[in-house]
C-alpha cells in the first residue's frame, strides 16, 4: 500500500514546461520502513496471561477448523503508519483476529500496508493492574478511531468479573456490549460468545476467557476436541461390544432351546 493509504500527505506545485503547466510533487514520498522490529523482548505479564492468550488463539483455530480465510495472532506488533514505525510506538494486542484474508502463510507481525490496509476485526487485551487504565483508555481510543476495530474486549485473567466489551457503531463510536444471563458478551464479527470458564489449562487452574458457539456450547481447545473424539470412539466401541455380547447370549439361548425341544 502507498504512503497515502497509511496517512501520509504530499504537497504539489505547478511548473511551466514548454509553455504547458504540469503538476509535480515538491518532494518524493518516503517509503514505508522495511527494518521493522517484531520482538521488543518484553514478556507477557504472567504465565497465566500467556496461557490465556494461547487458549484464545487455539480455540478460535479449532472453531474455524474448516476455514483458511482468517489470521489469529497474539502479542504481535501491529504497524499501521510510517510515523508510528519510526517512533517505535509499538502496539501489540494480546489477541487479535483479521477476517477475509489469506491466513495460510505465517507472519512475524501485522503490517497494515502489506495487508491491503486491513486492520484487526477483533481485539482482546488481557489486562493487569499495570495495564488496565491504558487498555480501557489509550488503546481503546486507538482501536476505535484509527483501527476502527468492530469488536474490542478486555479481561484480567486474575479477575473473573473484569470482562468488558465494545462494538463499533459507525455513527456513535464504541458502544458497550450488554452481557447475557451467563455474563457472556456477543462477538458479532466472529459469531461467537466470549465468556468465562473455570477449569485447568496447561496445568493451571483459573477462570479463563473462552469462546462459546451460538448454541452456548464451549468451543474446545484442540486437545479437548481430540479427547472428546477419543471418548466418543470409546463409547461407540463399548456399545458395539455390548451388542456383540447380547447377540452371543441370545445365540446361546436359542441353541439351548433347540436342544431342549
Entry pTM: 0.75
Instruction: Tell whether the model's pLDDT for residue 14 goes beyond 50.
Output: no
Report the SS3 class of residue 84: helix
Cell of 141: 481510543
Of 228 and 3, the one with more pLDDT: 228
Q: Which of 159, 147, 157 is nearest to 96 (CA)?
A: 147
Res 247: pLDDT: 76
User: Considering only CA atoms, which of 38, 39, 52 is closest in space to residue 94?
Assistant: 52
Nearest CA-CA partner of 161 in 122, 207, 130, 193: 207
- Give the confidence band of 258 by pLDDT, cuts at 50, 70, 90: confident
- Is the domain defined by 38-220 classed in CATH 3.20.20.70? no
Q: Averaged over 1-12, what is the pLDDT?
A: 38
Least confident among 19-33, 105-119, 156-170: 19-33
The CA–CA distances, whole Å, from 4 to 27, 60, 233 equal 13, 34, 57
Radius of gyration over every alpha carbon of the chain, rounded to an integer in angstroms:
27
Task: Taking residues 167-177, report their average pLDDT.
Answer: 96
The three cell numbers locating residue 129: 493492574
Exposure string over 145-171, b if 16+ CB within 10 A, otherwise e? eebebbbbbbbbbbeeebbbbbbbeee
| C-alpha 121 chain-centroid distance | 9
Q: Which three cell numbers stand for residue 126?
A: 488481557
Query: Locate cell 486492520: which residue?
Result: 119
Instruction: Report the C-alpha gap between 225 and 81 in whole angstroms.
Output: 40
Q: Which residues is 96 bridged to in the sheet? A: 73, 123
pLDDT confidence tier of residue 35, bands split at 50, 70 and 90: low
Rounded Cα distance between 6 and 81, Å, is 5
pLDDT over 80 at 31, yes or no: no
> What angle in degrees, to the nearest 10, is found between the helix axes of 47-63 and 222-260?
60
Write out the DSSP string of 94-113: SEEEEESS--SS--SSEEGG
Higher per-residue confidence, 45 vs 144: 144
Amino acid at each position: 500500500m502507498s504512503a497515502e493509504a497509511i496517512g501520509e500527505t504530499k504537497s504539489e506545485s505547478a511548473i511551466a514546461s514548454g509553455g504547458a503547466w504540469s503538476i509535480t510533487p515538491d518532494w518524493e514520498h518516503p517509503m514505508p520502513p522495511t527494518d521493522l522490529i517484531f520482538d521488543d523482548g518484553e514478556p507477557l505479564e504472567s504465565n497465566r496471561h500467556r496461557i490465556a492468550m494461547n487458549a484464545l488463539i487455539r480455540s478460535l483455530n479449532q472453531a474455524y477448523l474448516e476455514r483458511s480465510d482468517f489470521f489469529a495472532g497474539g502479542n504481535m506488533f501491529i504497524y499501521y503508519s510510517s510515523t508510528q514505525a519510526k517512533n517505535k510506538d509499538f502496539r501489540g494486542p494480546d489477541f487479535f483476529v483479521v477476517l477475509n484474508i489469506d491466513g495460510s502463510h505465517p507472519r512475524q507481525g501485522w503490517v497494515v500496508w502489506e495487508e491491503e490496509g486491513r486492520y484487526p476485526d477483533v481485539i482482546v487485551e488481557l489486562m493487569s493492574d499495570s495495564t488496565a487504565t491504558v487498555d480501557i483508555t489509550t488503546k481503546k481510543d486507538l482501536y476505535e478511531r484509527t483501527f476502527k476495530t468492530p469488536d474490542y474486549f478486555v479481561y484480567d485473567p486474575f479477575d473473573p468479573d473484569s470482562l468488558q466489551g465494545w462494538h463499533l457503531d459507525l455513527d456513535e463510536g464504541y458502544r458497550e456490549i450488554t452481557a447475557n444471563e451467563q455474563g457472556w458478551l456477543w462477538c458479532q464479527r466472529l459469531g461467537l460468545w466470549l465468556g468465562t470458564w473455570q477449569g485447568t489449562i496447561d496445568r493451571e487452574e483459573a477462570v479463563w476467557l473462552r469462546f462459546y458457539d451460538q448454541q452456548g456450547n464451549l468451543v474446545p481447545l484442540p486437545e479437548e476436541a481430540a479427547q472428546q473424539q477419543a471418548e466418543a470412539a470409546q463409547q461407540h466401541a463399548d456399545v458395539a461390544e455390548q451388542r456383540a455380547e447380547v447377540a452371543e447370549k441370545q445365540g446361546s439361548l436359542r441353541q439351548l432351546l433347540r436342544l431342549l425341544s
